[in-house]
Amino acid sequence: MLVHKITEVREKVKEWKRAGLSVGLVPTMGALHNGHKSLIEKSVEKCDRTVVSVFVNPIQFCAGEDLDKYPRTLEADEKLCTEAGVDIVFAPSPAEMYGEGHILSNDFLTYVIPPYFYTDKLCGKSRIGHFDGVCTVVNKLFNIVQPDFAFFGEKDRQQLIILKKMVNDLNIPVEIIPCPIVREESGLALSSRNKYLSDADKQEALALSKILFNIKNCYKKGITDVRSLGETAYAFLNENHSLEYLEFRDENNLEEKTTADDGTVVFIAVKINGVRLIDNISLR
Amino acid sequence: MLVHKITEVREKVKEWKRAGLSVGLVPTMGALHNGHKSLIEKSVEKCDRTVVSVFVNPIQFCAGEDLDKYPRTLEADEKLCTEAGVDIVFAPSPAEMYGEGHILSNDFLTYVIPPYFYTDKLCGKSRIGHFDGVCTVVNKLFNIVQPDFAFFGEKDRQQLIILKKMVNDLNIPVEIIPCPIVREESGLALSSRNKYLSDADKQEALALSKILFNIKNCYKKGITDVRSLGETAYAFLNENHSLEYLEFRDENNLEEKTTADDGTVVFIAVKINGVRLIDNISLR
């Protein structure tokens, strides 16, 4: 069922809760692919009822980012959801979420701000305010849907770690369920932004997963020095890759690692032909 | 019933909700007086169950403020609550709320930040970060108790307006119930900080309510020019009063008024012998 209004979702969820049913939420920006599908399936399996939100959240896009051209495919998204057994697809307008003519700056809007220690690194370094926008909209969605469980992909692992921190710090009564990255056979991590890639770009994009898999291999073989592990990346990079970061960080608090261990996650971001791609891998 | 643990409150509230009972929350910093009592009575009357939280919230005190010497009277508070029919007095430790050894800066803690337009004026001007701390702790309490209604005094009207804005912006499923200021017969608004006043100070403190009542009188007689209304204050001030602000602002969004109307609130803050007192009045 496609729902656009907050009050309508709330009523439906209230009914479910009165009946003692558990509720899962899968927050998305639409343009659903098999990565989202795996989150949705996990929710449908775990929870009595599942809500998928489809909302391209303006306040998590930074100046110069792709808000206007971000892919919007609601009809296909709804079909995927229905087939997967989703009970409600919640697709609010920006006005429904933030009010008509609302000024979306922190001069006039309440924000949920994750700690700087978690946001001043990795993607947060180039995407100023991005995670403030993510935490704020997820907080809103949690308050609207009041789910028991919420499903997030490990593809956006910095986001996942930050949202877990938010839930913990603010005592939010929602359990966050992390879901593993879904990859093409080639190794490429699924992403809505892959649509921006030409076939040639896609070929170049394989470098990200190759670098990560190779680092994990080296780690499993006993190399733990982060500098040595990092240097193995250069074998996979060429002039078509603009490396934004390759970093080794703690899986819980994003602290930098100099020696890799099982609690280490390797994060990578590369721009290919103007398209920014991210990926990561746990060394566990 | 006195409860110190988050899990314990949650269990209790869950039971109530399962039984279909409505829940009211009265968030306080303790040192309860008749002002709080009026909030508590309103909740007990309106809701099936009432939780009063007693927590001197460290993150809403600014540098140089009275965190350590803020009055703590838990035993008396509990007695007042029990007699008023409160079901749970929730008095967590700072560690229970923020974690053991937690660093309470926005480097390491998720904050709920109300819009600058609401916090860069009145009390927010001198109490930097105060309302960030208030919104964050109230958000946490809302998530812990999940009340249907929450009761706040109009005494802290800037806080009330900011919390309403937070609830609206973040779609928090709680209805905020404003409660009128309770005054001594003399006109002095009740406040936990009145305990810091000597008898002579208390006499001087009457200036605040006198100024506000007189302004409202003048307005009712037809004076709407804010400058003229403001100037009437000087008749009540002497060298023992250090006036921090006297301002005319919109009751919903705190916009400054040059012409008073029924939607105007007059805010005043005065320091007397080092004790900072606030008061306000609606011209409606």
Residue B105 dihedral angles phi and psi, to the nearest 5°? -105, 165
What class, spelled out in words, does domain A2-179 have in CATH?
Answer: alpha beta
Q: What are the Cα distances from residue B86, in Å, to A31, A148, B254?
A: 50, 28, 33
pLDDT at A205 over 90: yes
H-helix segments, chain A? 6-18, 34-46, 74-84, 94-98, 116-119, 123-126, 130-145, 157-169, 199-220, 226-231
Q: How far is the alpha carbon of A144 from chain B, nearest alpha carbon, in Å?
A: 6
Q: Compute chain B's Rg from CA coordinates.
A: 19
Residue B144 forms contact with A (CB below 8 Å): yes
Residue A251 in contact with residue A161, Cβ under 8 Å? yes
Residue B116 is predicted with a pLDDT of 97
Chain A residues inside the 8 Å CB shell of B112: 110-113, 170
CATH number of B192-279: 3.30.1300.10
H-helix segments, B61-151? 74-84, 94-98, 116-119, 123-126, 130-145
> If you count residue pairs, one on A and one on B, with CB atoms under 8 Å apart, how many are there?
74
Q: Cβ separation of B140 and A115 shorter than 8 Å?
A: no
Tens-place pLDDT, residues A22-37: 999 999 999 999 999 9
Residue A101 is predicted with a pLDDT of 74
Chain A residues inside the 8 Å CB shell of B106: 113, 115-116
SS3 A235: helix
Q: Which of B113, B115, B171 sits opposite A143 (nearest CB)?
A: B171
Chain A residues inside the 8 Å CB shell of B19: none
Distance CA A218, CA A260 (A): 11
Q: Compute chain A's Rg from CA coordinates.
A: 19
Q: Which two tokens stand for residue B81?
A: 């609550």
Conformational region of residue B80, where left means phi above 0, alpha means psi within -120 to 50, and beta covers everything else:
alpha
Chain B residues inside the 8 Å CB shell of A109: 115, 169
Q: What's the whole-number mean pLDDT along residues A86-114?
A: 93
| Interface TM-score (ipTM) > 0.85 | yes
SS3 B22: coil
- pLDDT bracket for residue A114 (50, 70, 90): very high
Q: Of the given ranges (A70-79, A100-109, A111-120), which has the lowest mean pLDDT? A: A100-109
Q: Which of B117, B146, B165 sits opposite A107 (nearest CB)?
A: B117
Tens-place pLDDT, residues A36-55: 999 999 999 999 999 999 99
pLDDT at A102 over 90: no
Neighbours of B138 (CB within 10 A): 26
Residue A159 forms contact with B (CB below 8 Å): no
Tens-place pLDDT, residues B103-148: 888 999 999 999 999 999 999 999 999 999 999 999 999 999 999 9
Chain B residues inside the 8 Å CB shell of A169: 109-110, 140
Tens-place pLDDT, residues B24-73: 999 999 999 999 999 999 999 999 999 999 999 999 999 888 899 999 99
Q: What's the whole-number mean pLDDT along residues B223-247?
A: 98
Q: What's the whole-number mean pLDDT along residues B220-229?
A: 98
Q: What percent of chain A shows pLDDT beyond 70? A: 100
Q: Cβ separation of B106 and A112 shorter than 8 Å?
A: no
Q: Cβ separation of A135 and B6 shorter than 8 Å?
A: no
Residue A103 is predicted with a pLDDT of 79
Q: Cβ separation of A107 and B114 shorter than 8 Å?
A: no
Q: Cβ separation of A173 and B139 shorter than 8 Å?
A: no
pLDDT at B102 over 80: no
Domains of chain B by residue range: 2-179, 192-279
Q: Tell me if residue B130 is catalytic.
A: no
Residue B217 is predicted with a pLDDT of 98
Tens-place pLDDT, residues B141-168: 999 999 999 999 999 999 999 999 999 9
Q: Cβ separation of B110 and A107 shorter than 8 Å?
A: no
Instruction: Tell me the pLDDT of chain A averaged across its residues.
Output: 97
Q: What's the whole-number mean pLDDT along residues B264-275?
A: 97
Residue B64 is predicted with a pLDDT of 87
Q: What's the whole-number mean pLDDT along residues B184-203?
A: 96
The domain A192-282 is placed in CATH, from the list 3.40.50.720, 3.40.50.150, 3.30.565.10, 3.30.1300.10, at 3.30.1300.10
Least Cα distance to B171 among A55, A213, A34 occurs for A55
Residue B165 forms contact with A (CB below 8 Å): yes
Q: Cβ separation of B106 and A113 shorter than 8 Å?
A: yes
Q: Kindly provide the residue ranges of all beta strands, DSSP E only, lying in B4-57, ordered along the sequence.
A: 23-28, 49-54
pLDDT at B101 over 90: no
Tens-place pLDDT, residues A220-250: 999 999 999 999 999 999 999 999 999 999 9
Q: A12, A96, A106, A170: which to substitute to probe chain B, counting the most B Cβ within 10 Å? A: A170
Q: How far is the alpha carbon of B244 from chain A, nearest alpha carbon, in Å?
A: 24
- pLDDT bracket for residue A94 (50, 70, 90): very high
pLDDT at B221 over 90: yes
Residue A12 is predicted with a pLDDT of 98
Residue A103 forms contact with B (CB below 8 Å): no
